[in-house]
Structure 1
Amino acid sequence: MATVIDNDTQSIVVGNGNDRIAIHLKQSATDTVQNQSQSLLVTSILIEIGDIEIQIRRSTKSKNEYRKENILSTSTQSPAITFHNGDQQKEPITEEKPNANPEYWDYSVIHGPRMWGKIFPHIQCKKFQSPIRIYTDQCEFDSQLVQRPFTFKFDENCCQTIENTGRSFQVTGKGSSRITGGPVVDEYQFLQFHMHWGANDLEGAEHVIDGVRLPGELHIVTWNTSKYKTPKAAAASDQFDGLMVFGILVKVVPSDNQEFAKFIDLLSNVTYKSEKININQATIALKNILPNDTQAYYTYKGSLTTPMCYESVCWIVFREIVGLSKRQFDQLRQLKYVCKGDHSTNGNISQNFRPVMPLNGRTVYRSF
């Protein structure tokens, strides 16, 4: 097993592939410039053994916050140890007060992915859920995918608003669009795009490719206009063709991504949940967000990765990976899941991805 330490000594990874231990550290806040022996604090530990994941996180709460027993906290960094094994997960070692809304969900300990099956019982019956682990050598090459290349047509009004949903940002618009080709025979239209990320640079992407989990994943959601009258009907269809979601994996690179900066730099205007702003026409061009190579991808039948987790998705996960700088990832982590004026917690959306789910006999195809 090998140990890898990145350039700023913030992450230590022991092992690789499906068996590894990743330790994320940060400099102690008590260190000063004059202090020659700087100390590092462990902020999180991720242990992966095959399909089993064990996450240990350091709480970001202050001592005063722990004394406030009457304050509800849904922080995604609550102190807990969570075990993941497909869709079978054990209880954490801590407890939190439930939200008054019985159908409320988020990415915290008590309302997060391990509890979605209890909050929404129908999810327990689902067998073809997303995201999944994808292994290139186990995918089946489909020559038909090569013969049916994707075509993307977006007009300038596709991206008109950006909103903080309390779980991510979301970009939407009413411009006309047309997506055809690939593994589908129908015509699809752009609906929205959003992103998933983690508390550090060792997690955040929902799909895991060849044992590698990247720090982010952007999803472009489109809906089938040939068979369904509304996006809602398409999403709830449970027919694997209602939606087609394009997953773009994101890694850390030294420099800012200038195309992604066009919407990431707007996030400071929607810091709090439910904040929403209009975007000037043509500020964000969807065609420029896509990877350069849109014809090399993995595809499989799956589900939404958020409740209600409908199994209505034809997934397209591009092979090409795009990059964001550390600064840009930090901008994402500054978004808050609380409304403006709620000072009970720091409220940052530091983690908003669902653990991988069992494949359950599905075939993953590839176009390359």
Structure 2
Amino acid sequence: MHIVCMKDGLSPDSAAKQEDGYAVLGFFINAKDDQDTSEAWTTLTSFLPNIKEVDQMVNADQNISINGLIGNVDLSKYYRYMGSLTTPQCSEAVVWTLFHEPIPVNSTLIQMFPLMTSFVDIYRPTQDLNGRQVYTSASSVPSHSWCYEGHLCDYAPSNWSFLPEAKCGGEQQSPINIDTQSTTEDESLGAFTFLNFDDKHVIESITNTGHSVQCNINGSVEVSGGGLPHVYTVLQFHFHWGSVASHGSEHLLDSKSFPMEMHIVCIRKDLNMSEALAHSDGLAVLGFFIEAPQTSKSGSHSSSTSDSSGTTTPPTSSTSDMEAWTKLTNYLDQIQTVNSQVPFSDEISIDDLLGNVDRHSYFRYNGSLTTPQCNEAVVWTVFKESIKVNQNLMTRFPESTGYENIYRPQQEQHSRTILSTKVSAGSSPQVKTARLFYPLLVFVWALLY
């Protein structure tokens, strides 16, 4: 069943000339022998004997509502793509919406359509996508088709490779353990250019996807440089976490994990999603470890060490804007239901969340998405220094959503090379101290000799 709608204010001719001039709602219909006869469908089919001839028309003088025909179909589950009318002139002017659940109708009523009209097989064959992207509402994907370890579903991480069309069994999968002693320094890994990371109005909404908390971006944020092969547009950022008492980062640093990890997901500016997933550099993901602030006895972070819980402490200090993280986590209670989404109205920039974390020091490797379909299409950047966030704010993620340990286990590195930025003079407190006292040492040497 097609419900054909025309853009308000247009004529049929002008609507046919615009790519979104029409919107068509498509509903599949299933024949059910044991289906109770629907009053709306019984009324509708009662008119069919009066229009047996072509171009015959009869007034619908009985009450029939569209809602009555649709019944209890879940209208939150649908697919969306840009297409055309399915009859000549086949104008490519339609925003298509196809609903996932079919309308169940008694088979006797369905049989009346060909019997009364005397024509059958009235459908156009399927057409090629030709690179178009088919989108899905979050709720149209079964929420338990895949899950993380310890969650109830058919496909845990060890079985992701058996999912239809999944690439999760490849040899360039993510996340991985980053062995810092085995990385290769690369001088081409320079500074990034972050466009609109300081804009406090780029977060449009926040969503509970059932697998994470995701913040959706309005499309004006870009990242380039940093050795990336293209300019990338930021789509969203999301989080991975453990439980209240354990670690949950996806990547490991020298086999050590962090309580959380933040992923900023970006797409090549010149590609759509289907094209990006087919290119090894179609996506770029910026990964940031997250942990609670920890200070040494002197009041500052020491060089990379491990605390009693096994968490790697980064070599330098960085503190994020706790006010921004407080505002962000205040939304968590509003999205406790899976697939729930709310508009984001607070003024928070991505820079506010990242704080003064060192964005010049990072690792780089080629990998995959860390959720199905696990496409090996990602240029990964994992920053060496972690974001510091109050522990109480971090625990709100598992407590509010009701699920924990949402991270994919470590994958094999295979023959991949992990690149690292060159160690700069300002990257460690020790080097900074040496540079500060060097002129004094020269002066003392001159006095003595």
TM-score after normalising by structure 2: 0.53
Letter paired with 1:268: D
Moved over 4 A (4+): 100-103
1:292 is displaced (CA, Å) by 2.8
Q: Does 1:145 align with 2:189?
A: yes
- 1:201 touches 1:252 (CA, 8 Å); kept in 2? no
1:231 is displaced (CA, Å) by 3.1
Per the alignment, residue 351 of structure 2 pairs with 287
- 1:187 touches 1:224 (CA, 8 Å); kept in 2? yes
Q: Does 1:253 align with 2:286?
A: no
The RMSD of aligned alpha carbons is 2.3
Per the alignment, residue 62 of structure 2 pairs with none
> Distance in 1 between the 2:164 and 2:341 partners?
28
2:403 to 335, 339, 349: 349
> Distance in 2 between the 1:355 and 1:200 partners?
18
> Distance in 2 between the 1:362 and 1:305 partners?
17
| Distance change (3 Å), C-alpha of 1:102 and 1:271 | closer
> Distance in 2 between the 1:114 and 1:316 partners?
25
1:328 is displaced (CA, Å) by 1.4
Name the SS of the counterpart of 1:260 in structure 2: helix
Letter paired with 1:153: L
1:103 is displaced (CA, Å) by 8.3
| Distance change (3 Å), C-alpha of 1:124 and 1:176 | closer
Letter paired with 1:231: M
Percent of matched pairs sharing the same residue: 29
- 2:160 touches 2:166 (CA, 8 Å); kept in 1? no
- 2:236 touches 2:266 (CA, 8 Å); kept in 1? yes
> Distance in 2 between the 1:215 and 1:103 partners?
24
**Structure with the greater alpha carbon radius of gyration:** 2
Q: Does 1:268 align with 2:333?
A: yes
Q: Does 1:367 align with 2:421?
A: yes
| Distance change (3 Å), C-alpha of 1:160 and 1:134 | same
Q: How does 1:177-188 map to 2 (within 5 A)?
A: 177-188=221-232
Unmatched tracts of structure 2, length 5 or more: 1-140, 295-318, 423-449
Q: Does 1:308 align with 2:348?
A: no
* More moved, 285-294 vs 188-197: 285-294
1:202 is displaced (CA, Å) by 3.3
Name the SS of the counterpart of 2:381 in structure 1: strand
Q: Does 1:217 align with 2:261?
A: yes
Per the alignment, residue 105 of structure 1 pairs with 146
- 1:157 touches 1:173 (CA, 8 Å); kept in 2? no
| Distance change (3 Å), C-alpha of 1:102 and 1:294 | closer
> Distance in 2 between the 1:276 and 1:185 partners?
33
> Distance in 1 between the 2:407 and 2:168 partners?
19
Letter paired with 1:242: G
> Distance in 1 between the 2:145 and 2:379 partners?
26
> Distance in 2 between the 1:102 and 1:219 partners?
21
Higher strand share: 1
> Distance in 1 between the 2:265 and 2:217 partners?
12
Q: Does 1:244 align with 2:266?
A: no
Letter paired with 1:285: S
Name the SS of the counterpart of 1:333 in structure 2: helix
- 2:166 touches 2:374 (CA, 8 Å); kept in 1? no
1:218 is displaced (CA, Å) by 0.5
Per the alignment, residue 308 of structure 2 pairs with none
Name the SS of the counterpart of 1:144 in structure 2: coil
Name the SS of the counterpart of 2:188 in structure 1: helix
Letter paired with 1:248: F
> Distance in 2 between the 1:231 and 1:285 partners?
25
1:152 is displaced (CA, Å) by 0.2
- 1:128 touches 1:302 (CA, 8 Å); kept in 2? yes
1:262 is displaced (CA, Å) by 2.3
1:171 is displaced (CA, Å) by 0.5
1:311 is displaced (CA, Å) by 0.4
> Distance in 2 between the 1:362 and 1:139 partners?
10
TM-score after normalising by structure 1: 0.64
Letter paired with 1:315: W
Q: Does 1:173 align with 2:173?
A: no
> Distance in 2 between the 1:125 and 1:333 partners?
29
